[in-house]
Structure 1
């Protein structure tokens, strides 16, 4: 894909075995990028890379636990060995579970913060040198839970709030290196995980319907493509919320 929405170079997408991560990886490949897809289990991410290659794109699948710094550094090395550069990093890997604050164990809290926030730190810092060489982009995935909180998701919301702040802070630090850092905060998206919890299938969602509170992975991929492309060259340090129409409750939006 040419033009202002095309994506050149190589993109790494973490948590790319399904849902939003997979949609972003496939979209980036369609837009012209070579894509490195990773997840914690090789068998889950191999089909994603195979599908991209079958469609005429370039892709490499790598097993990587983003909480393991050595594994993350190996991911960056594999990307450079295969494609020569790292031009875009999409920090999508994440996890969550619902629990009241009083019921969250130390291990549960640490696990969610490690995967979501520390994983973003690990990948971004490890890829920093490569991203700065040619001027790259970082796209972090947060959540509306990180913007305004969400009952029974305090651990997840706190981690995602950290990602939003990291985005703002790092965008200022890395601007002189021509690296743009931005963030997407999705609301409910009809991923396989959400479908299993809420029973809402992506097949039942009409993109043309404005009045809705659940979106599609492809709609988040649209935003990611924009943020990775030259079309968003004047957007730095921003968090774009994709949560559908706000609801008016008790006179407030």
Structure 2
């Protein structure tokens, strides 16, 4: 049985928010499979070590400082990608942020900041990268929503609303850009043992057994598996979908 259909070897992938956690895992996974990766973060010093690690492992990576909220910065990121690797095959819109507060306690600035990073940032990157793909041979776009965007999340209304917008944008763009050869899909993770979540929940990725089915927290590498699938030819019949990666579903047991 061949597994070549799951390969991203030879592709160029741009991953936002790749200094740690899920974004870093995706960049490292794609590079290990033979893709040229461009990784960005708001601070160059945070993303340089990731690129250096990929290069030391035999991969190909370019680190770029970019604030996804700023259109000129995003356009420069895409231009650098094309200049370095002569094209762009996959965009992973992973950059995101949040903080916890009840709805009435969220200032207008706080609301705008979270929506700007999670939703408006996806808009900027998708428009800029999508132009390259649509004028070329097509490509794949992988957005990041969240279970919070599907079901809501107490004390994270700004984040949940933005992620719901990302999921809706995914299905809309999948329809609009199908004729241009661009597939647009989305991943909605539940709890993942990133450094931030691990510090809050007290569970590290090292404590998670991938063979255990009965769990509600996953690893960044498991999300990277889904991202590689969506970027690969194996997902050629998928567009406009949001894949929920959350472990065991919440189902109410019937009273006896």
TM-score, normalised to structure 1, is 0.97
Cα 1:82–1:102 change in 2 (3 A) is: same
The residue number in structure 2 matching 1:71 is 73
Q: Deviations over 1:95-136 (max 9, x none)?
A: 011111111110110000000000000000011121121110
Q: Deviations over 1:206-246 (max 9, x none)?
A: 11110000000000000000000000000010000000001
Which residue does the alignment assign to 1:165? 168
Q: Alpha carbon RMSD of aligned pairs, Å? A: 1.4
Asked whether 1:206 is paired with 2:198, we answer no
Structure 2 unaligned regions, length at least 5:
none
Matched position secondary structure for 1:123 = helix
Residue 16 of structure 1 corresponds to 18
SS of aligned partner of 1:134: coil
Matches within 5 A, 1:24-43: 24-43=26-45
Q: 1: CA distance between counterparts of 2:30 and 2:99?
A: 29
Deviation at 1:20, TM superposition (A): 0.1
Per the TM alignment, residue 249 of structure 1 is displaced from its structure 2 partner at its CA by: 3.1
Structure 2: distance between partners of 1:162 and 1:247: 23
Distance 1:184 1:36 in 2: 20
In the other structure, the counterpart of 1:130 is 132
Specify the SS of the correspondent of 2:132: helix
Tell me if the contact between 1:2 and 1:31 (Cα under 8 Å) persists in the aligned partners.
no
What's the offset of the Cα at 1:197? 1.8
The equivalent of 1:96 in structure 2 is: 98
Q: CA deviation at 1:73?
A: 0.4
Provide the C-alpha distance between the structure 1 equivalents of 2:223 and 2:236, rounded to a whole number of angstroms: 18
1:105 & 1:57 partners in 2: Cα distance? 43
Partners of 2:163 and 2:186 in 1: how far apart?
10
Distance 1:244 1:119 in 2: 28
CA distance in 2, matches of 1:90, 1:193: 20
- TM-score between the two structures when normalised by the length of structure 2: 0.96
Partner of 1:192: 195
2:105 equivalent to 1:107: no
Distance 2:33 2:160 in 1: 32
1:251, distance to aligned residue in structure 2 (A):
4.0
C-alpha deviation, 1:195, in angstroms: 1.3
1:6 equivalent to 2:3? Answer: no
Counterparts of 2:105 and 2:210, CA distance in 1: 37
In 2, distance between residues paired with 1:87 and 1:48?
Answer: 21
Structure 1: 4+ residue segments shifted above 4 A: none
Count of aligned positions: 252
1:219 corresponds in structure 2 to 222
Q: String of CA shifts for 1:21-59, please: whole Å, max 9, x gaps.
A: 000000111122100000000000001111111111110
